[in-house]
Structures are given as structure tokens and as C-alpha cells.
Chains A and B, each alone.
Chain A
């Protein structure tokens, strides 16, 4: 009986947590399906279901441009981050060079830096250099925050790969680069996927850099663009269209995480336990 009671307790607790986490999401989804004045009707479900908000959002150049920027910048920083992190992690895990630990420690220190403290200086710097309001202008700061974590995750992965596999590849006639690309990287795939997803999420969700380092449709990302949304008239609150836009940018992230959640978990915990 106690076991059954325990299971009931667990179920109840789980439901509570899920409800707590998903209620705002449900609210946003419901909001995005409401028609103009229904938004203020103080009801959870829309009285009149409509996809009008989604159509409107995709007709808004502000949003479509931002969506393009978000995708582009996130992919750019993800790609560069994974490649650089893989090379760095391999070197740290496999090669003997002075200052190896120092590199790892510094990387961690960089990741601890509060985002807000570098936004001001970056704003000035980017305007001088000409990176203000450009894709690289956002991708570079994203890199500096995501690279350390990627390096840590990938170093842990490379460390647990048997060294003999690399030697086997070399004995099979591979160059060191071939051994890295054809054997080590595929074997570290879970780590690579983890690093890629974490980087992508960071870039995709960022608001502070997005709002501070952009000024036009050239590079403004979705989280930043949402702040500039207006309703049908300037007196109307754009809650419904913001909700629709929010749903549009949330869906790919949720999908990504659902597909890869096993990998993320195993990627983050690997190195801690053997398995």
C-alpha cells in the first residue's frame, strides 16, 4: 500500500510541476488564437478561434526579417562555436602543451562574466569597428559566452574516448587530421550535439545583446523585435500578435530539445560517470 501511495504522491507532484511549467505556455498559445478584443475578455479559452494573428505576424516585415536574422545568427554562432570548440577540446584532451589547465580555467571564467557588464563597452566598440547592427556583431558575443561551455562539454567527451582508437586510425594510415575527423569527431557526436544545441539556444533566446547591438531589420533578432511590435492601431495592445510570434519562435526550440533531450542529458553528464 505504501508503494502505491508513494506512486500516487509522485504522480500528483509531477502533475503539479508540469502544470506550473506549462500554464504560461498554454496561456500564450490560447492568447495567440484570440481575436482582437477577445484578449481582454478575462477568459482562458478564446471565444472565437482564429489563426489571424499568425497570418498577421508573418505579414509583418519587422517579424519576418527578425526571424531570418535569428535563424541566421544562431546557426552562424552554432557552426563556428562547434568547430572551434571541437578543435580546442581535442587539443586540451589529447595534446601536451603548457597552460592546458589554464585554458580551461580561463574559459570557465569568461562564461561566468555577467552579460550586462559587457554590453555597454561592446556597443561603443562595435560602432567604431563597424560591427554594430550586423550578424557577426551578435554572433561574436554569443560565441564568447557559448564557447567555454562547448569546450568543457567536448573536452569531457574526448577524454573518455579510448586513445587507442586514434592510434589505430594512425596505424591504419590516417593523418592526425583524418583520425580526428573520421574517428574522434563521430565518436564524440553526443557531445557535439549537446554543444550545438546549447549554443543555439543561447543565441536564439538572447535578448540583451539583441536589443542593444542592433537598430534595424538588418540584424535585429526575434526577442528584440517583439519589443517593437504594435497592434492594429497604436491604441491597441499587441498582446495577441506578440503571443503568436512567441509561439512561432518557441516551437522550433521545443522540437529541438524534445528530439535531442536524451543526447543533451547524456552529453552533460558524460565524463561524470562511465557509461
Chain B
């Protein structure tokens, strides 16, 4: 296994074209699983393909095991890749697919090939399938063969390009756990690309969030959730997504379209009066005031909310509260972000994830509670977090 690091890496597909990957620096330690995540078109796959050697770097340096690898052929990089389509060789049996990387080296003895293939087949429970062709396998089985073909060669690192997106939801969860288990067992260095933030948060030792070719934040999943560096990361991480709400500052208070709350402590600098900001509020940080004791109520702010729809999920109940947003630039920025993350950005609404015991129902007014201390604040123009403990805006060393 080896470390993999990118230093100020950029990629343009044509001279003069806008960069698809823009000055990305990222170090993946030996044995670490780093997930590259972002909406489609953010350049995450291109980063992976540059590491693989399937694309050239326009600028910057790639190091594998502390050695410059920019000019190395994919073969010499000794990294295995699992493709989204699995890319199994349809004319070969499962056994031959698994043996393919080994047999490319003609000096290798047949007995050794057999031994290694059966070892990997055992690890991934592919034994009974060895004589089948890929066309006769189910999606999950194909996925395992693709992983087996990557493992069998004992490469220095693994690259995954959305390996689960062709599986149905149930299987995806299982395979996700399987990959995590395998990674720990092999102590493997892995770079994993996905557009699914749940996959990113559950799998990654660290998660790198990309937007339009630029790294936004590289952090442990928990830090990403609790201290997002900017509004984009805040909205991308977590499901249901964080509510982003236009707000203004008024004599020590924060005026939200539906409530007026004390300005949160712990800001990097005091907010100038009248300044527009973006307030971030996680759905799970809202609560039904009717279910809270007086102690808790006193700690936060209670406000009236006209709930227009609810969704019962079991562990929580989602309540949707539409509100009128000012038609200003801040609201437009928020709508833009929502669209970028795959939403429609049509209506401004607050999503609250309430305790399932709640009696809040659609079409009625409810009293919701929020803890101002849990509010995130972002600069209305740059989207950067205004919290004192926020990670510095991502700038490559």
C-alpha cells in the first residue's frame, strides 16, 4: 500500500477551456479511505482518472508513495480501479476475469494464478460462480467480481468510481458495509468517488467535497457535518438537507423570515447591524415545542409555524413550513445553491425533522423551537462560514 497525494492539480480538456479541476491539493495517507464527493460535473471523476493515469494532469503534481507519478503509465502506478459499469470482460468467465490481471505477466506460474484467484473468490464468496460469464450474474455479483479483479493483483491502492450507483438501494447498503470491512481488513489506501453524501459520510475516513472543480473542505465526516466551511458544504452534507435561510442582523438579534433569535455566540467577528447573512438550520435541530420541558424551552426560541405538509418516516416526522423570503440577492444565492445540489429551488420552505411523538399535522399551525446556538451563519456573498471555529476557507498549501 502507498500514500497518494495531489499538489495543486488542475485539469483543462482544451487549452483555454475553463478548468474542470482547479488547483486541488489532497493527501491520502497510507491505508486511508478518502471519499471525493460532489454533485455531478464537479470534477471528482476527473480527479480519480488523473490518479489512475487515464487522464493527464494539466498542472500540478501527483505523487504515489512519495514518488512523482505524473508521467507514469497506468501500469507502473500499480493502482486498481473499480468502474461504475464494473467493466467486466463479457467474453471471459468469472475465473478468467479474476485471473486477467495476473495472467498479463506471463512469467507467473499457472498454479499461483489459481491459488490467488481462489483466495479472492473465497474472500468475496464467488466460488460457485467461477465458471459463469458476467452476463449470467446479478448486479451485486458483478460488483463483487469487479472488486475481486481489483483485489487479486494486490495493488498499492484502490480507486472506486461510483461503484454502487448501479445497485438497488437495499444492496447498496450491504455492499457499502462490505467495502468498509474489506478496506479495514486489507489496510488499503482507497480513493472513492461518489455523488451520494450518505455513502461519503459512512465510508470515508475523510471526505473531500468538490464543487466546480474546486475543493471546498476536506475533513472527517463528523466535522463536515458539525462545522461546514461554507454554505455549499452545509447544504450538501446531511439528509434532509440543511435549511438555508436569508437573515439580517438587527441590534444583537438575527431576524429570520419566521422568527427573531439572539445572534449566536462564537462568531469570528461581531456582525455589523443590517448585514445580510445566510442562516443554516439543520432539520434535526428544530423541535416541536409541545414536547419540550420549560428548561429546554427557555434555552431557545419558540416561533409559530404554518405547517403545510408532513411526512412520517418512522424515526422522525418531517414537517414542511413554507415562508415568504425577501426577493433579494441572498434569497437568490440560496435558490442557486439548491438548484446546484439537484433541487428545484422553487419554493422557500423550512424542513423540520421532529420527534415521531409529535402531534404536528399538515394544514395546522404549530409551535416550533430552535436553539440559536445550533445555527450556522454564512457570509451572504462568499458563502463562507462566520463561525470562529470554522475551518479556514480551503486553500491549498
A residues with a Cβ closer than 8 A to B are 162, 164-165, 167-175, 178, 182-183, 186-187, 189
Q: Is the CB of B91 within 8 A of A164?
A: no
User: Given A167-B83, A171-B80, A173-B153 in contact, is the A183-B74 Cβ separation under 8 Å?
Assistant: no
A165 CA to B91 CA in the complex, in Å? 11
Q: Is the CB of B81 within 8 A of A171?
A: yes
A167 CA to B153 CA in the complex, in Å? 16
B82 smallest CB distance to A (angstroms): 9
Contacts of A178 in B (CB 8 A): 104
A157 CA to B153 CA in the complex, in Å? 30
Q: Is the CB of B105 within 8 A of A171?
A: no
B128 smallest CB distance to A (angstroms): 24
Chain B residue at minimal CB-CB distance from A161: B90
Contacts of A189 in B (CB 8 A): 91
User: Given A172-B80, A175-B75 in contact, is the A167-B105 Cβ separation under 8 Å?
Assistant: no
Cβ contact of A168, chosen from B53, B87, B104, cutoff 8 A: B87
If A164-B83, A172-B100 are given as contacts, then 18 extra A-B residue pairs at C-beta distance below 8 Å, sorted by A number, are A162-B85, A164-B87, A165-B89, A167-B81, A167-B83, A168-B83, A169-B100, A170-B75, A171-B74, A171-B80, A172-B153, A173-B78, A173-B104, A174-B75, A175-B75, A178-B104, A182-B100, A183-B89
The 4 closest A-B pairs by CB, nearest first: A168-B87, A172-B101, A171-B81, A164-B87
Interface 1/0 per residue, B64-105 and A, CB below 8 Å: 000000000011001111010101111100000000110011
Interface residues on B, range: 20 to 34
A174 CA to B149 CA in the complex, in Å? 13
Q: Is the CB of A174 within 8 A of B104?
A: yes
Chain A residue at minimal CB-CB distance from B78: A173
A209 smallest CB distance to B (angstroms): 37
User: Given A167-B54, A168-B81 in contact, is the A173-B105 Cβ separation under 8 Å?
Assistant: yes
Chain A residue at minimal CB-CB distance from B54: A167
A177 smallest CB distance to B (angstroms): 11
A178 CA to B74 CA in the complex, in Å? 13
Contacts of B101 in A (CB 8 A): 172-173
Q: Is the CB of A167 within 8 A of B87?
A: yes
A182 CA to B91 CA in the complex, in Å? 10
Contacts of B104 in A (CB 8 A): 172-174, 178
Q: Is the CB of B91 within 8 A of A171?
A: no
A182 CA to B100 CA in the complex, in Å? 9
Chain B residue at minimal CB-CB distance from A167: B54
The verdict on B52 contacting chain A, using a C-beta distance below 8 Å, is yes
A174 CA to B106 CA in the complex, in Å? 11
A175 CA to B83 CA in the complex, in Å? 19
Q: Is the CB of A171 within 8 A of B85?
A: no
Q: Is the CB of B100 within 8 A of A164?
A: no
Contacts of B90 in A (CB 8 A): 187
Cβ contact of A186, chosen from B53, B85, B91, cutoff 8 A: B91
What are 16 A-B pairs with beta-carbon distances under 8 A?
A167-B81, A167-B87, A168-B88, A170-B53, A170-B54, A171-B80, A172-B80, A172-B101, A172-B153, A173-B78, A173-B105, A174-B104, A178-B104, A182-B100, A186-B91, A187-B89
A167 CA to B91 CA in the complex, in Å? 16
A99 smallest CB distance to B (angstroms): 19
A182 CA to B92 CA in the complex, in Å? 10
Chain A residue at minimal CB-CB distance from B91: A186
Chain A residue at minimal CB-CB distance from B79: A171
A158 smallest CB distance to B (angstroms): 15
Contacts of B52 in A (CB 8 A): 171
Chain A residue at minimal CB-CB distance from B84: A164
A169 CA to B74 CA in the complex, in Å? 10
A30 CA to B191 CA in the complex, in Å? 73
A178 CA to B79 CA in the complex, in Å? 18
Contacts of A172 in B (CB 8 A): 80, 100-101, 104, 149, 153
Interface 1/0 per residue, B43-62 and A, CB below 8 Å: 00000000011100000000
Q: Is the CB of B87 within 8 A of A165?
A: yes
B50 smallest CB distance to A (angstroms): 13
A182 CA to B153 CA in the complex, in Å? 18
Chain B residue at minimal CB-CB distance from A178: B104
Contacts of B79 in A (CB 8 A): 171
Chain B residue at minimal CB-CB distance from A186: B91
Contacts of A173 in B (CB 8 A): 75, 78, 101, 104-105, 153
Chain A residue at minimal CB-CB distance from B90: A187
B312 smallest CB distance to A (angstroms): 42
A172 CA to B101 CA in the complex, in Å? 5
A165 CA to B97 CA in the complex, in Å? 12
A140 CA to B93 CA in the complex, in Å? 39
Q: Is the CB of A162 within 8 A of B87?
A: yes
A162 CA to B149 CA in the complex, in Å? 18
A174 CA to B101 CA in the complex, in Å? 7
A190 smallest CB distance to B (angstroms): 11
Residues of B367-387 whose CB lies within 8 A of A: none
A175 CA to B91 CA in the complex, in Å? 19
**Residue of A168, A182, A186 ringed by the most chain B CB atoms within 10 A:** A168
A168 CA to B146 CA in the complex, in Å? 10
Contacts of B88 in A (CB 8 A): 168
Q: Is the CB of A187 within 8 A of B91?
A: yes
**Residue of B87, B100, B105, B159 ringed by the most chain A CB atoms within 10 A:** B87
B165 smallest CB distance to A (angstroms): 14
Q: Is the CB of A164 within 8 A of B80?
A: no
A170 smallest CB distance to B (angstroms): 5
Contacts of B149 in A (CB 8 A): 172
